[in-house]
Structure 1
Amino acid sequence: MPLSPKLYTWLVGAFAALGSIVFGYDLGVIASVLPSPSFITTMGPRIKDSNQEGLVTSLLLLGAFFSCPFAGYVADRYGRRWCILVGALIFMLGASLQTGAQNIDYMMAGRFFAGAGIGWLSFLAPLYQSEIAQPSIRGALSTLQQLALGIGALVASWADRSSVEQYSDERQWRLPLSFQLIPVIPLAALIFIFPESPRWLALKGRDEEALATLARLHAHGDIKDPLVNFEYEDIKASIKEANPENINPWKELFTKMHHFRPLALGCILQFSVQMTGVSALQYYSPLIFANLGYDSVQTLRFQSYNSIIALAGELACILLVDRLGRRWPLIVGNLVSCATYAVATALYALYPASVDNTSAHLAFVMMTWIFNLAFSSCIGPLSWAYPILPTHLRAQGTAITSCFAWISNFIVGQVTPIAFRQRGWQYYIAFCVMSFTNAVTIWALFPETKGRRLEEMEDLFKYSSWFVPSHPPRVVNAQKVEKEMREGRLQPGHATEHATDNAFDSPAHKWEDEKLEHA
Structure 2
Amino acid sequence: MALSPKFYTWLVGCFAAMGSMLFGYDLGVIAGVLVAPDFLKTTNNPDSDYLGFITSSMLLGAFAGSIPASIIADKYSRRSAIVAGCLVFLFGGSMQTGATGREVMLAGRFFAGFGIGMIALLVPLYQSEIAHPSIRGSLTTLQQFFLGIGALVASFVIYGCSNNYRGTEFEWRFPLALQLVPAIPLGALIFCFPESPRWLVAQGRNEEALAALARLHASGDVTDTFVVAEHAELQLKIREEVESRSAWSEIFGDVQSIRKIMIGIILQFSVQMTGVSAIQYYSPQIFSNFGFSNQRTFLFQAIASIFALVGEGLCVGFVDKVGRRWPLIICNMGTGLVFIVAAALQANYPSTPDNLNKAASYTFVAFTWLFQLFFSAGIGPLSWAVPVEILNTNIRAKGVAITNLASWISNFMIGQVTPRALASVGWRFYLLFAVCGFTNALTFFLILPETKGRTLEEMDDWFAQTPFIVILSKAKPIDTKERERQLAAGMDGPVAQRLGHNDFEKDGSEKSKTEYLDTA
Aligned-pair distance for 1:246? 5.5
Partner residue, 1:179: 178
Counterpart position of 2:7: 7
Does the aligned pair in 2 maintain the 1:164–1:172 contact within 8 Å? yes
Q: Shift of residue 491 of structure 1?
A: 3.8
Match for residue 122 of structure 2? Answer: 124
Q: Aligned partner of 2:336: which letter?
A: C
Residues 1:361 and 2:361 aligned together: yes
Q: Which residue of 1 aligns with 2:454?
A: 452
Deviations 1:250-285 (A, max 9, x none): 121111101111111011101111110100000000
CA offset at residue 247 of structure 1?
1.8
Deviations 1:69-112 (A, max 9, x none): 11110000000000000000000001000000000001000000
Aligned to 2:504: none
User: Which residue is equivalent to 1:217?
Assistant: 216
Which residue is 1:489 aligned to? 491
CA displacement, residues 386-415 of structure 1 (integer Å, 9 cap, x when unaligned): 120111110110110111111111111111
2:38 — aligned with what? 38
CA contact (8 A) 2:290 2:356 kept: no
Match of 1:432 among 419, 424, 434: 434
Can you list the C-alpha shifts for 1:337-360, whole angstroms capped at 9, x where unaligned?
110000000101222223431011
Contact 1:261 / 1:461 at 8 angstroms: preserved in 2?
no
**How many residues are aligned here?**
495
RMSD: 1.4
1:55-454 alignment runs, 5 A limit = 55-167=53-165, 168-242=167-241, 244-245=242-243, 247-354=245-352, 355-386=355-386, 387-454=389-456
Alpha-carbon distance in 1 for matches of 2:24, 2:475: 35
Maintained 8 Å contact 1:230/1:492: no
Task: Report the Cα offset of residue 422 of structure 1.
Answer: 1.1
Return the letter of the residue paired with 2:18.
Answer: L
> Is the deviation greater in 463-472 or in 421-430?
463-472
Q: What secondary structure does 1:380 align onto?
A: helix
Q: Cα offset for 1:297?
A: 1.1
Q: Secondary structure at the match of 2:8?
A: helix
Shift of the alpha carbon at 1:209? 0.1
| Residue identity in the other structure for 2:220 | G
**Conserved 8 A contact 1:238-1:493:** no
Q: CA deviation at 1:50?
A: 1.7
* SS of structure 1 residue aligned to 2:152: helix
SS in 2 for 1:384: helix
Aligned residue identity for 2:210: L
Post-superposition Cα deviations, 1:160-182, rounded to whole Å, max 9, x if no partner, equal 01101111311100000000011
CA 1:473–1:273 in 2, change beyond 3 Å: closer, same or farther? farther
Amino acid at match of 2:339: Y
Segments of 5+ residues of structure 1 without an aligned counterpart are 500-519
Greater mean alpha carbon deviation, residues 137-146 or residues 470-479: 470-479
Indicate if the aligned counterparts of 2:63 and 2:409 stay in contact, CA closer than 8 A: yes
Please list the CA deviations of residues 202-245 of structure 1 after superposition, one character each: whole Å capped at 9, or x if unmatched: 00000000000000000011011011011101111101222x15
- What's the CA shift for 1:472? 4.8
Q: Distance in 2 between matches of 1:245 and 1:237?
A: 11
CA shift for structure 1 position 494: 6.9
The Cα of 1:427 is off from its aligned counterpart by 0.6
Give yes or no for contact 1:456–1:494 (8 Å, CA) kept in 2.
no
**Are 1:88 and 1:117, in contact at CA under 8 Å, matched by a contact in 2?**
yes
- How has the CA–CA distance of structure 1 residues 217 and 278 changed in structure 2, closer, same or farther, with 3 Å as cutoff? same
Encode CA deviations 1:308-357: one digit per residue, 9 max, x unaligned. Answer: 11111111111100001000000000000110000000101222223431
2: CA distance, partners of 1:478 / 1:205: 30
- SS of 1:101's partner is coil
DSSP-derived class of the 1:75 partner: helix
Is the 1:237–1:492 Cα contact (8 Å) retained in structure 2? no
| 8 Å contact kept, 2:284–2:297 | yes
Separation in 2 of the partners of 1:367 and 1:115? 30
Whether the 8 Å CA contact 2:453–2:482 is kept in 1: the answer is: no
In percent, how many aligned pairs have the same letter? 52
Give the superposition deviation at 1:10.
0.4
Contact preservation (8 Å) 1:445, 1:468: yes
Equivalent of residue 479 in structure 2, options 477, 480, 504: 477
- Preserved CA contact (<8 Å) 1:455 1:493: no
Output the TM-score relative to the length of structure 2.
Answer: 0.93
* Corresponding residue of 2:51: 53
Matching residue of 1:464 = 466
Once residues 200 and 331 of structure 1 are traced to their aligned partners in structure 2, the CA distance between those partners, rounded to angstroms, is: 33
> Whole-Å Cα distance in 2 between the matches of residues 245 and 475 of structure 1?
31
Q: Is the 8 A contact 1:465 1:472 kept in 2?
A: no
Q: How does 1:11-26 map to 2 (within 5 A)?
A: 11-26=11-26
C-alpha contact (below 8 Å) 1:447/1:473 kept by paired residues? no
Partner-residue secondary structure (3-state), 2:453: coil
Deviation at 1:493? 4.0
2:168 partner SS: coil
Per the alignment, residue 508 of structure 2 pairs with none
Return the alpha-carbon distance in structure 2 between the equivalents of residues 492 and 481 of structure 1: 8
CA contact (8 A) 1:21 1:148 kept: yes
TM-score for the superposition, normalised by structure 1: 0.94
Question: 2:291 touches 2:356 (CA, 8 Å); kept in 1?
Answer: no
> Retained in 1: the 8 A contact 2:314–2:377?
yes
The CA distance in 1 between the partners of 2:284 and 2:474, in whole Å, is 44
Structure 1 letter corresponding to 2:229 = F
Partner of 1:505: none
| Paired amino acid for 1:304 | A
Show structure 2 runs of 5+ residues with no match. 502-520
Deviation per residue, 1:407-459 (Å, 9 max, x gap): 11111111111111111111101111111110000000001000000000111
- What is the alpha-carbon distance in structure 1 between the residues aligned to residue 484 and residue 243 of structure 2? 30
Whole-angstrom CA distance in 2 between matches of 1:413 and 1:81: 31
